């Protein structure tokens, strides 16, 4: 029933238990990080700069580095994004 009709009739909407609610499950899946595949050369260069072997690259809104997880806006970066990426890496190394 549409919420407006329920309100007009004075009915309170029922909520499904979490295990039966399919909308909650689909929202959880959409919040899962999406892994990105960078070129082999770029991945190798980043790993050498960070001195790590287990780099994880995920899709995000901006360029950020948290431990060995690198967040990038896409798997293909323009010149300005690459410059910002190396600034973030440089800052992480010096910190």
Tell me: the pLDDT tens digits for 65-90?
Answer: 998 999 999 989 999 999 999 999 99
17, two tokens: 């238990």
What stretch of H or E contains 8? helix 3-9
Distance of CA 15 to the CA centre of its chain: 29
39, 77 Cβ separation under 8 angstroms: no
Q: Are strands 56-59 and 69-72 parallel, antiparallel or unpaired?
A: parallel
What pLDDT score does 1 carry? 61
Does the pLDDT at position 58 exceed 90? yes
Q: How does pLDDT run across 18-40, given as a tens digit for each residue?
A: 676 666 555 555 567 889 999 99
Cβ atoms within 10 A of the Cβ of 64, count? 14
Work out the mean pLDDT of the chain and round it to a whole number: 83
Split at pLDDT 50, 70, 90, the class of 14 is low
């Amino acid at each position: 029933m549409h919420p407006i009709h329920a309100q007009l009739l004075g009915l309170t909407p029922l909520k499904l238990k979490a295990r039966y609610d399919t909308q909650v499950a689909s929202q959880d899946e959409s919040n899962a990080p999406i892994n990105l595949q960078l070129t082999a050369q770029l991945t190798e260069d980043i790993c050498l700069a960070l001195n790590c072997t287990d780099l994880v690259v995920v899709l995000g809104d901006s360029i950020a580095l948290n431990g060995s997880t690198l967040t990038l806006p896409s798997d293909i970066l323009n010149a300005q994004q690459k410059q910002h990426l190396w600034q973030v890496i440089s800052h992480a190394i010096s910190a």
